Structure formats: structure tokens, C-alpha cells
Structure 1
């Protein structure tokens, strides 16, 4: 519905002077605020004949009513009064607005724009009512679907994303090194765990998501198990635990019999494989089955080459390279998939799994384990989905799983994305109830088809032009957003856009601190203590609320 509140005069930005549906709106700035205080990324509202339009300010320009003043501009000795008159009459500021949503009178929710406001319609910097109409308010108590990921740059209002829509597709968190990608990831994962919308499997390369992590200010912050001890399990690779890393819920070891040729191809850079490696590997796989690596490493290479009719030099070269796998502390000759089966069962029961790499925090270990474990999980989930589609019983419907991987470009480059399980999951989206949360600082190295499938993108500062272009793959009206992205600070700011956000928005990211711990735990405790919250009277609701807050203060105060 159209707003009926009186807007604050100081929020007035200017008037619509021109524009189009495809290219956005031009706004003549007539704000009382100095032009220097009008910033790209600000959220604006435009009222026009019962329709409230919402957009983002993507550019600011200096304009003049006549070229003569630009050819003969005022000098330093020109009085301040004359300068003020010139700025108000002959020169002015112009803003470009990316018009995204429209809320029609009688509608509860905004919809994508299919029209534009009329000439000379007033434009305002958005207020709290506008943000609520578009992004809603955080719901810590009743399911937690709306999660506050941050606030506008210049206001103390929550910006929420829809977590149910977030898990429907694969998503990405991007930003150059040092912009806080891990903190953003931990923040979103905490929201997902609290809301209990899906199970999460996190491949924790640098041991940052389990018990605790160290921030750049040298302070330690709580990990996910420290916040959700009953919901989160920490698993480690066998023989890789770091001292003082806390208890674990299970160990994973990888058998050489579990490694497929596709896993080896994904390790091409880490193992420095030559061009003939894949051909030799496929020949050996066909000859020896799942024992092909064991036979290669333990047998006589000349005899193996003769028996398999492979090139002897290629066999020897591949043998030398694959010795690096056998030297990994968690790799054995033969292993069942019992530990991975247990992880699948725990995910199905609503647990969240953090797999820590401990002393093996290198790309060789990370790529190998993540690819093998994810492939087995995907196979299991395909079976679960097939069973559900045959029975059509609600009890057989699989629980959604989101898999978090860091350094995602290693799994999703154009050369290998068509062969890896991560590429398959990204393309299938929600077909088999498994999606990805990819975390990366080099999105330009990710296959463009995969990038086009990313549903929601949370983007911190990126400077490289190729990475900026990659982030906006498949995004309409991205030219103005590129300007906004380039203007972000390197810390605690991000651009959020895509499936879970009604429209692109720039945020100050929500701090992951003691206040956040209290807020998220108080909501969780309250949800546990009130089976039917909506059935309680207001006094009982307030009593339960205060009790939960007190418990959270006792825990984290």
C-alpha cells in the first residue's frame, strides 16, 4: 500500500527530471544537505499517484544550465554569496537512481517495477517505514526466517534477508582478502542454524568456524559450536588435530580406494600433473577398478604399463605425483564410507557439521576431502530424493543441506566445473535438496555458467575489474551497481543482491560480537521455551522474553 506518513523535510533529495524503465531515473538534486553528503548506495523512495517506488542511488554528477559558466567559472576571489547564487541557479547536482521495486496501493508486498514515476515527482532518502516495507524486520522468535545481516550506511535500521529463499539456491560471498568474508560467512551460518531452515556442512580450511576464531584485532570470537552446542558437531581429519582445539565428534579418513579420476583432475595444479595424466588415470581405473591408485603406488610401474597398455613414461610420472596423496596423514589404502554415512545421517537429523583440517590446512588436503565427501553426500541425497518422489510421503522428504566451501574457484574453474560435483550441485540448484555457499576472493576464476546460477550474492570490496564483472554475471542493471561496489570501504561494508534480497542494498555488516551472541541465543532459548508462542497472552510473552534474555546474559554477559 502507499505510505500515508509525513516524510521528514531533511530527507528530501530532489525531483525526477528524466529516465526510463531500462536505464533508471535522473533526479535533479534540491536537497538542503551539501552535495558531498549525498552518497552512492543510499536507498530512496519515490511517491507517485498511489505507487511507492524504491531504488538505489548509483551515481552523482555535477551539471550546469549553460556552458558559459563552465567556460568562465568563478575565481577564488568571487564572493561566497555569488558562489551560492551560481550553485543554486546555474549549476546543480544530478543523481542517478536504479529503480527496482514498486508498492501499489492495496498491496502488502512490493513487486519488480514495470513502470516509472512521472516528471517532477519528489524523491526522498528512504526512512524506516520504507525499509520495513521492502526488507521486513528481524524475527528472532517465530521461526527466524527474516535475518538482519546489517544496517544502511547512514541509518540504524535492520536490513533483513529471507533465509528460506536464501537456501533455495546456491549463494556466494565474495570480496578481496581482508574484507571480512569469514565473518560474513559465520554470521549467515549462525542465522541459518538459529532458524533451523537447513542443515549446514562447512569445510573449515583454517579452523575458524568450530569453537573460536581470531579477529584482526587479535580478539577471539565464538565459533558456531560455542553458540549452538546442541546443534553443531565438529569433525576432524584423522591425525591432523591441533593442540587445544577442543573436543571432536568424529574423525574422517580417506581411502585411496575412494579417490576417483575426477578427484585427481581437480588436483592438477596442486600435484603439477602433466597433460597425459588424465588419460593414464582413466586407463588404470578401467583395468584395476577402485584399487587403481594402490596398484600404481605399490606395484611395478613397468608391469602395470604392460598389463594396462598405458605409456610407461606417463605411468611413472603419474606414480611420482600421486605419492603426495599417500603421504597425507589422513589417507589409508582402503576405507569404507562409514564416517561419511554418519555425517549424512547427522545432517538428516538436523545437525550441522564443521569439518576442520587442523594441521592439514593446505589446498591439496582441502580439495581432496571436500570433493570426495561432497560427492558421496550428493549420491546419498539423490537416492533420498528418488525415494521421496516415488513415495510422495512427507516423512521421506529430505532435509535441505547447504555446503560451505572456501577458495571456491579451485573447484569451479571453467576447466573443471563440468566434471566436479560442486559444478553439478551449482547447476542443479535445489533439485536434490543440496546447495552451495561459495566463499571466494577471485570470482573471475569461477566458470561463468556457475556464477549465473548463484542466487544471492554478498559482495565486499573488490578492486579487480575482472572480478567485478564476474560478480555481476547474469545481473540486470549492473553498471550502476559496479560504481556502488567500487565505493565500499574495505571493512564491514557489503553489497547484498539476489534471490533472498528484494533489491540490491549496501549495508554495514552486523557485528559478530557479544551483543550478537545475546540476541541470537535469547531468541533461540525463547523459541525452545514457548511451544506455541502465538497462543500466549502478551504478559506471558513478555515474561518468557525477559527470562530468555536473562539466561543469555548469564551465559554471555
Structure 2
């Protein structure tokens, strides 16, 4: 379709084909947009009803698509959240006309029978930029398809803190830019059912944070997805973060044999001593290892009785040892035997040793704070053992968070001494943040504290409904792929403005290559087609990456600091 350029040529603007789409210059940067229809009703809470023009094909409308309404004083940036068919005469439904006759078809289509869309006003755009919506346009205000300029006015252009994460529906040449500084200030959630591409979405977000130096990340890499090269479902090799940012990302491993077999280059192997594990670390495994409250109480009693070596002594304990404990403490014999059987599983994990020569926590803190490098901890074969994953993630996070609190308190009054913003990434997040344990665990504390101590979470999960409601309310930015469970949809939309209209959008996302971003890092909810994680992405993200020296400067530290 040729867009009219001569405003004086009425044949161009009003063609003989009355079903031809109508275009108009909307006066903003000379952008030309297709006119879709006019506002005929609605409200701010329920959305606005828009009657489509006779030349607008209802099949080209899609939930999640953006439109702009030109009011008398300002523009309204809106999202389509429902599509319907309507008519001026209800009798048409019981006695439809014969549209084989072109004349009858033209008379009825678009006039007697027409398309109707419901749009939700998201933002008001005026000379000062985007603002929250507090009013609505009047009757018969014209509605246009959103142009590239309209989208850029809302989401800005790519820059030092704005990172391109994808394109909006129907505008693939336009980019949606996420504010990375606001992203890492609060916890982030990446949600979606299995197979919707959560790992690739997470990889794009982490690549942006690392490239732009907006923080450092500690990634508990359950399935070895983020550090080194993997093979995607279509058989292509996909680079890891350490290959893209060699000077800014370090790989540590719990399973050196697995890393060597995959040719993944790692800096060192993490070991943990039996004597370093405390009852608080065991308590985190209550649901996963079927530990009762009496078993956890017994763990605290044994730690008090035997000191740091309590786990090894319990594993090697004889029947006489068990009888002695039962006779001299309030721990029942059955409880003790059950706890011993469960703790014996630790012997299968080779990263647990009797005497640990190094300090794993100190090594990670050195990388994160002194060198300001992101850390990917690969689990190798232990990634398929949820108990091992939860034990290590909780053990390290609890101690690193404690160290960060100390560093932040020491830096009071001198911002240059603050450690860099830390984003801790965990998978199967509901296991760490379910209601029964979230209020007692470090992960729940971090989520509730938000940015107080410069530590936030990036949680990846396919069951957001299983995460504690209070924790979900503190997740600042939510990146959500397709969810088909009503409870999960409710959990993701809880606390989001305009949730009723977004429900239909979220439920109709494609299985892959579509996601909706809501919350702190974007000015309004937006449906995107995520960037493809390929060679073009590698080149773009590394070309704009800042150096480690620039990263230290941008994170508020003049140079390396010793801890």
C-alpha cells in the first residue's frame, strides 16, 4: 500500500476502494501511521472501546500490540488487550446477510457489522515525556497504530544504562530498552513454563548487566547453561558469558571432571568442608530431604555437643554412640537414626571434604568485590541433585550476604568504599522462597531488603505461585514467558497496575520467542520478541561492553579494594 504524500490529492486519501486502510501524518516527527478507528466508549479501569475503521482488517489486530490515541491535548500510549466483533443490529447474528454479493458485503462490513478492540491506556505522552495515566481521551478521538517514534518516546534509546532486550510485536525494527540500573536495584524474576526459553532470556539479561557494568553477578548454574558453551535445542552452539566477557566473568566448578569433559575453562574448583556446614544450612533442606522439626532441633543439639565436626561424627556414629546420645540428651533414638540416614547422602558429593584447605567464600568475595568480576558456579553432575544445589547455594549466599552487610556498614559515610551491586541468580527459586521457609532463609531476607545492602536476587522459576506472596511483592521487575496455570498467572500479575487487561495478553503469548516485561525497569508493561542469542548479539554486546576499569568506576569504586 502506497502511503499518500500529497495532502491536496483527495484521490489518494479517499480512494475508490473504501476498504483501503487510512493513513495520516500525526504531526510528531512527521511519522506516518495507519488510522485504526475511533474511541466509542470505555473507562480508565476497564479500558477503552475502539470501533475499527471499515478498511481495518480485524485479523491484523493482536493482543499485546500498541496503539496511540490522539486526544485534544495529549497522546495516550495504549495496549490492545481484547478483540471482539459487534454489530448495530443484533438480528444479524441470527440471520446473517449473503456476503457473496460484493455490494451487500460492502454495505454491511465495517458499518452494520464491525470490529471492536479494547485498549488499556498505559502512559500519557506530552512535551515533558511519558507520564502515568490519570484521565482518558474523549469520544471519537482517532486511534493510530504505534510508530517507531512512539515506542522510542516511551522506552528511550539504547545507551550506557539502557539495554536492548528485544522488539515489540508488529514493530520488529524497533527496540525495547531496559533500564539496567533500575533492573538490578531490586530483585528480578524470570518466569515461564518449561520449554519457553527462560534460560535464554536470563542469559540476555545477564549479558546486558555484565556488558554495561551495572553490577556483578553470582550465578548458581544448575545445568551449566551460563558460563561456557552449550548446544541449543536446534543443534547450534551457544556461547557462555565467560566466552563473551573473558576479563569480566570467572567460572568456578563443583565438578572439575564434568567441566573438563565439556572443555569448559574454569578458574578453580570449589570444595566445602564437612566442618563448615552448620545446622542453619541443613534447615534449608527441610522439605527437600523430608527433615522434621525434631530432626532439625537434633542437628542444633549435636552441633552444640560435638562442635564443628558434628556431621562427620554423626555419619560415622556407631550404635553405641547413638545409644549414648539418646541416653544423655532429649534426642529420641528414632529421630537420631532418621537424621543420620539423611545426612549420609552428603558422602556421595565429592565437593564435600573432611578438611578444606581453602576458603571458598573468601575466593568468591575476592572475585566479586576486589576484581569486580561476575562468577558462574557450575554444578556439573550435581545440578540434577536438588539437595546438593540448595545446600551449596544457601551455604555460600548466607555467608556472602553477611560479608556484604559488613562491607556496607563499614562504608557508611564514604560511598567510594561501597562494594559493587550484587545480583545473585538462582534456579528452582520456589524451593528457596516457598512460604514455609522464605521468612527464615537468606534468600527471603535479600528479597525483602531490596537494595538496602546492594544485594538482590534474579530468580528463575516455572511455578511463581509457589513463591511466598510477600517475596513476590518485592520482585521489582518480572520477565514472564508463557504460563498456562491460572494460579501462576495470578502470582505474576499480583500488584501490577492494569493486571486485568494484562491477563489476556499473558495467557496468549506464543510458546517461545515472546515474553512480557513488567515492573521497575520499564515505564509500562511491554510484550517483546526477545533478541536472538546469536553471532549478531555477541558482536553487538561485546562491542558496547565497558572495560573492567570503567566498570569499577561506574559501580562507585575508584579502584580495587581489599577485604
TM-score, structure 2 as length reference: 0.88
Find out whether 1:367 has 2:390 as its counterpart: yes
Find out whether 1:410 has 2:427 as its counterpart: no
Cα deviation 1:101-137 (Å, max 9, x = unaligned): 11223x1x31111111122111111101111100111
Cα deviation 1:219-259 (Å, max 9, x = unaligned): 11110011001111000115553413332112211222332
Query: In structure 2, do the counterparts of structure 1 residues 247 and 88 end up closer, same or farther at CA, with 3 Å as the change threshold?
Result: closer
Distance 1:409 1:65 in 2: 50
Cα deviation 1:336-383 (Å, max 9, x = unaligned): 772211211211131010000112122121111111111111000010
- For the 8 Å contact 1:497–1:505, the answer to whether it is kept is yes
Find out whether 1:226 has 2:243 as its counterpart: yes
Find out whether 1:395 has 2:416 as its counterpart: yes
Find out whether 1:180 has 2:197 as its counterpart: yes
Find out whether 1:294 has 2:317 as its counterpart: no
Distance 2:358 2:304 in 1: 22
Partner of 1:154: 170
**TM superposition shift of 1:289:** 4.2
Query: In structure 2, do the counterparts of structure 1 residues 15 and 359 end up closer, same or farther at CA, with 3 Å as the change threshold?
Result: same
**TM superposition shift of 1:463:** 1.0
Alignment of 1:202-351 (within 5 A): 202-237=219-254, 241-242=258-259, 243-274=261-292, 276-299=294-317, 300-335=321-356, 338-348=359-369, 349-351=371-373
Find out whether 1:118 has 2:138 as its counterpart: yes
- For the 8 Å contact 2:404–2:419, the answer to whether it is kept is yes
**TM superposition shift of 1:407:** 1.1
Partner of 1:60: 83
Cα deviation 1:284-311 (Å, max 9, x = unaligned): 3343444332332233222222333211
**TM superposition shift of 1:416:** 1.2
- For the 8 Å contact 1:284–1:308, the answer to whether it is kept is no
Cα deviation 1:34-77 (Å, max 9, x = unaligned): 101111101111222331211211111111222222232235x7
Distance 1:403 1:453 in 2: 15
Distance 1:257 1:15 in 2: 71
- For the 8 Å contact 2:372–2:548, the answer to whether it is kept is no
Partner of 2:536: 515
**TM superposition shift of 1:408:** 0.8
Partner of 2:291: helix, strand, or coil? Answer: coil
Distance 2:400 2:380 in 1: 22
Partner of 2:13: none
Partner of 1:101: 123
Distance 2:131 2:426 in 1: 33
TM-score, structure 1 as length reference: 0.89
Number of equivalenced pairs: 519
Distance 1:289 1:419 in 2: 23
Find out whether 1:128 has 2:148 as its counterpart: yes
Query: In structure 2, do the counterparts of structure 1 residues 104 and 337 end up closer, same or farther at CA, with 3 Å as the change threshold?
Result: farther
Partner of 2:433: helix, strand, or coil? Answer: coil
**TM superposition shift of 1:506:** 0.8
Partner of 1:18: 41
Query: In structure 2, do the counterparts of structure 1 residues 43 and 402 end up closer, same or farther at CA, with 3 Å as the change threshold?
Result: same
Partner of 1:166: 183
Partner of 1:354: helix, strand, or coil? Answer: strand
Distance 1:47 1:262 in 2: 59
CA-based RMSD of the aligned residues comes to 2.1
Partner of 1:420: 441
Alignment of 1:376-387 (within 5 A): 376-387=399-410
Give unmatched runs, 5+ long, in structure 1: 533-557
- For the 8 Å contact 1:43–1:54, the answer to whether it is kept is yes
